[in-house]
Structure 1
Amino acid sequence: MNFDEILGLIGGFGKFQKTLYVWICLPQIFLAFHMLISVFTGAVPPHLCRPTWPSTGMPATLNFSLLTQPDGQSELSCTVPLNHSDAVTLGDGHPPGSCQGHWEYSNNTFKSTIVTEWDLVCDNASLNNMGSSIYMFGLLVGAVLFGSLADKYGRRIIILINLATQAVFGVGAAFAPNFYMYTALRFIVGTSISGVIMNAFVLGTEWTGPKQRMLAGIITDYFFGFGYILLAGLAYLIRDWRQLQLAISAPGFLFVFYIWVLPKSARWLMANDREEEAWELIRKAAQMNGKPITKDHELYPVQLQQGYKTEGKTKVKETHSCIDLVRTPKMRKQSLIVFYLWFVNVLVYYGLSLNISDFGMNIYLTQLIFGLVEMPARTITLFTLNRSRKISQLAFLAVGGTACLLTIFIPSELSVIRTVLAMIGKFGITASLSIIYVYSAEVFPTVIRQNGIGLSSMCARTGGVLAPMMYLLRSISPQAPMLLCGLCPLLGSALTLLLPETANRPLPDTIEDIEGTNLRSDTSTCFERVSSPKVKKNSSGMSHASDVCLFFY
């Protein structure tokens, strides 16, 4: 009897699983806080340089109303008066155009940000974007590091370690003495975010019955969206960046009670020859679900009924590698397209999410709107996925790309229209991102699905790293970032035409299936198949369920 059959008998989504999902979903709110906090802590208020020399014509308060750009950056904001007569003097030891006094910032919106504290404007503006990219790089490092550690030591312990790391280093970032220490602490927080996201999702998936897995996965997405919305209100109330960083990090210490309530994965325990411990957990789950079993129950293995442990299982040797993803023509074509789709979805998702000040409306209202858009975007995929993976992916990418592209033709004065178009773009990309993790798991055959999802995830994180840097292109053209956010998804939409339809189709097991021969007649869905213990095990004995849908955020 495999584990899915056991779940069918003790309850695939009973009280035990529902309680587990409460514990899994709560951290998602704080994950959204950490992922998007730089929208406010790294915001750039309008700024002007106040020279050091005395001048009778210099007003006590600088006029920031001349700076019309929403992010505080404009040609005027970085035009530094070199002396009281605006004459260029080169003999004072300062480079022409550098601020020889100090920067002053408008405090109408923010009390303080990392930009105002460490003067990350004009010549130093790129440091702000690089800081966000380094945080995103932490997500990539954490995904690689804690993915392998979780397969070796278990999901629960890795989740607990990363929740503690997130709280300690998140609070530490609130007291960082300089920008470089702040960036280093945020990098460590980023690694812990990946450790929590992927292992919490996998823990829930491994305890949930096949029929409820997709719905259960969407539930966690809703909580991330709720955190997205809640951050807008929290940032509105707390305008000081250190206090805001502390407010989103300190509650993480409350998760200490997870030591007592968060269960291990019985599926992982079985795969690692710890069956007695696994069956104790199964008994507790069955009891909570109202379907109790005892040691003399027919479900129990005979060996455990008699009081001795089973012998270690022979591991199936993995015979495929990443090279197989590009070794044959059709597999190579599909792999490269899927890699690009992961990259572009995450690039545009965070390109829009982290740069909401560019659209001209109130930053808090825009954050709230973008958060609200997450909810219907996640929901609509439940109705479109089963009809067609291919058309759904293509359509939402096209919607997102077209809306972003149209924003470049709207004057900055029409901020409401630009925000509406950006909101539509965010809707399309969010829905597309919800689809790609299901679609890609069905495109890759079973024998290399783990490798395919792993490389796809790395491409996604690369997109996350480049998303903050993309806005450095504004020095070339103010429209360049949104032009990129529009053209890249449209290219992805066109490339999706070259992918196969996988909805209600046989799931490929071998590369030969992809190349056009010997397809099986099994019509199981992605989540039913890739999470089943019947699929090929990897070198650590775990099924490929551990490697699907791990890098959704």
Structure 2
Amino acid sequence: AATRDFWCARPEHLSAVPLDVWRNLTQPDGQCSFRDAPYQQLTLDSFFEYFASFANATNDALRTDTVPMAGGCEAYEFDDTTFGQTIVAEFGLVCDRAHLVSIVEMCFLAGAALGSVGSGWISDQFGRRHTLMGFALTQALTGLALGFVTSLELYMALRVVLGFASMSVAVVSFVLVVELVSGRYRTIIGILNILPVALAYIMAAGIAYVTRDWRTMQFAITLPGLVLVSVWYWCPESPRWLLAKGRLDELYQLLERAASTNGLPLPDHCRKSLVVASSNSDESEVAVTVGDVFRRKFIRTTLVMIVVWFGIILIYFGITLHLSNLGGDIYINTVIAGSVESIAICLSIVVVLKLGLRINLFLYMVVAGLSCIVMNFVPDGNLWLIITLAMIGMFPPCHVRSQRKYADDAL
């Protein structure tokens, strides 16, 4: 959440008191302290009379017990120069409630963490297609519900659900698209699969700038999810999942549809080949658990990817969640971040195909780490240099590397 200026709200009958006068007289110690006075009994004229003896006093004099400090206030007003109605403003997440901002953000990330683990198992049981669309529907309905909540507790609970559904959509959609193709196209489509995220980042900045209201924005960013659900009927199932489950009739129909779309005939022995492949799959099928990635065959890969993912996610979310703290205009910063990420995603395809995933990932880790280190030594006045360094480390194709690495090690 972006930092906003705020102050104790003026009672309606004292709204004509100039803001600078109100803040100087009632909050001399800062935003989170409030001078005790019978404000509800004071009129506009008596308000000035009440504080008249302190009008020319120093701050030290104002801190005397004559007009004691009362601590926090019941309601706040917020500076709406840059932002309109936000979660922070609506639920008063400032002063002694400021820590709840981080908890609200953590709720989404906690749900996302659960989704990244649970969605794989669910899609293995029920198929990629139905799992993807089911979570897309959950994401859309939860997003709509968030726009109507009036309770912070309910908002936080729904954010957990939204995080779970959103990460599940991301994970399962990636698995589905890479299982629809083979060879070098798996790398290309795996990287391009995250391009809409960066483009949506740019669009979200525009929506936020126009709406200036968190509820309106919540509804606006939820609408694309409803569009995604509408393509449920046309979304194909993963042929590899159908083969693994022995659902050969559905697989053959899917291949026929793909061949017809591409204007190509299916080989005469296609159905027979599917039967043989399914038989081989059944013979080699073994129970797979999460613990398998920590066995001797995979342990080195697992430990390396844990370190890599931790570093990348720490940098990525550390930058994206705190763009407002970089300085400058938050909307422009967000557009720049989305644009840089979009360009990086497209360029990474060329780099990966030329240099390979390992070198590409290594270069990213080095460059991103150095950028973050150097950024700490840039003088505050060099805003564009700070933003440039921050944008360099936006996003690598790490998830493609993970999928390909485990697939290669399994051979």
Specify the TM-score bucket, using the shorter chain as the normaliser.
0.7 to 0.9
For 2:374, which of 406, 417, 434 is the aligned residue?
A: 406
For 1:316, which of 282, 285, 291 is the aligned residue?
A: 285
Q: 1:348 to 1:76 in 2, by over 3 A?
A: farther
Is the CA contact (8 Å cut-off) linking 1:50 and 1:103 kept in structure 2? yes
Is the CA contact (8 Å cut-off) linking 1:82 and 1:89 kept in structure 2? no
SS in 1 for 2:286: coil
Q: Which amino acid aligns with 1:346?
A: I
Is the counterpart of residue 143 in structure 1 residue 107 in structure 2?
no
Q: Which amino acid aligns with 1:371?
A: G
Q: 1:310 to 1:280 in 2, by over 3 A?
A: farther
Residues in 1 aligned to 2:314 and 2:176: alpha-carbon distance in whole angstroms: 27
How do residues 57-68 of structure 1 correspond to structure 2 at under 5 angstroms?
59-62=17-20
Residue 233 of structure 1: CA displacement? 1.0
Q: Which amino acid aligns with 2:371?
A: A
TM-score by length of 1: 0.62
For 2:329, which of 362, 365, 369 is the aligned residue?
A: 362
Residue 258 of structure 1: CA displacement? 1.7
Is the CA contact (8 Å cut-off) linking 2:316 and 2:393 kept in structure 1? no
Residues in 1 aligned to 2:31 and 2:341: alpha-carbon distance in whole angstroms: 35
Residue 203 of structure 1: CA displacement? 1.6
Q: Give 2:5's aligned residue.
A: 46
Is the CA contact (8 Å cut-off) linking 2:2 and 2:325 kept in structure 1? no
Residues in 1 aligned to 2:21 and 2:130: alpha-carbon distance in whole angstroms: 55
Q: 1:55 to 1:272 in 2, by over 3 A?
A: closer
Residues in 1 aligned to 2:380 and 2:203: alpha-carbon distance in whole angstroms: 28
SS in 2 for 1:273: coil
Q: Give 1:87's aligned residue.
A: 63
Residue 221 of structure 1: CA displacement? 2.0
Is the CA contact (8 Å cut-off) linking 2:33 and 2:73 kept in structure 1? no
Q: Deviations over 1:55-99 (max 9, x none)?
A: 99x943248999xxxxxxxx944454456664366999xxx6732
TM-score by length of 2: 0.81
Q: Give 2:59's aligned residue.
A: none
For 2:399, which of 437, 440, 461 is the aligned residue?
A: 437
Residues in 2 aligned to 1:184 and 1:246: alpha-carbon distance in whole angstroms: 18
Q: Give 1:350's aligned residue.
A: 317
Aligned pairs, number: 382
Q: Which amino acid aligns with 2:337?
A: F
Residue 151 of structure 1: CA displacement? 0.3
Q: Give 1:104's aligned residue.
A: 77
Residues in 2 aligned to 1:442 and 1:345: alpha-carbon distance in whole angstroms: 18
Residues 255-264 or 111-120, more deviating: 255-264
Q: Give 1:495's aligned residue.
A: none
Higher helix share: 2
SS in 2 for 1:104: strand
Residues in 1 aligned to 2:169 and 2:141: alpha-carbon distance in whole angstroms: 15
Q: Deviations over 1:414-454 (max 9, x none)?
A: 4333223322xxx2341xx32x334445655x6xxxxxxxx
Q: Give 1:545's aligned residue.
A: none
Query: Bigger relative contact order, structure 1 or 2, given CA contacts below 8 A and separation 6+?
Result: 1
Q: Which amino acid aligns with 1:366?
A: N
Residue 153 of structure 1: CA displacement? 0.9
Q: Give 1:387's aligned residue.
A: 355
Residue 357 of structure 1: CA displacement? 0.6
Is the CA contact (8 Å cut-off) linking 2:128 and 2:172 kept in structure 1? yes
RMSD: 3.5
How do residues 208-287 of structure 1 correspond to structure 2 at under 5 angstroms?
208-287=181-260
Q: 1:384 to 1:256 in 2, by over 3 A?
A: closer
Is the CA contact (8 Å cut-off) linking 1:228 and 1:371 kept in structure 2? yes
Residue 344 of structure 1: CA displacement? 1.5
Runs of 4+ in 1 over 6 A off after TM superposition: 51-56, 63-66, 309-312
Q: Deviations over 1:466-491 (max 9, x none)?
A: xxxxxxxxxxxxxxxxxxxxxxxxxx
Q: Which amino acid aligns with 1:182?
A: Y
Residue 53 of structure 1: CA displacement? 12
Q: 1:214 to 1:88 in 2, by over 3 A?
A: farther
Residues in 2 aligned to 1:144 and 1:407: alpha-carbon distance in whole angstroms: 34
Q: Which runs of 5+ in 1 are unaligned?
A: 1-41, 67-74, 447-506, 510-534, 536-553
Residue 347 of structure 1: CA displacement? 1.5
Q: Give 2:57's aligned residue.
A: none
Q: Give 2:42's aligned residue.
A: none
Q: Deviations over 1:121-159 (max 9, x none)?
A: 122111111111110111111222221111011011111
Residues in 2 aligned to 1:292 and 1:54: alpha-carbon distance in whole angstroms: 80
For 2:272, which of 282, 301, 305 is the aligned residue?
A: 301
Is the counterpart of residue 167 in structure 1 residue 125 in structure 2?
no
Q: 1:44 to 1:391 in 2, by over 3 A?
A: same
Q: Give 1:153's aligned residue.
A: 126
Q: Which amino acid aligns with 2:190?
A: G
Is the counterpart of residue 419 in structure 1 residue 377 in structure 2?
no
Is the CA contact (8 Å cut-off) linking 2:340 and 2:394 kept in structure 1? no
Is the CA contact (8 Å cut-off) linking 2:111 and 2:163 kept in structure 1? yes
Q: Which amino acid aligns with 2:102?
A: N
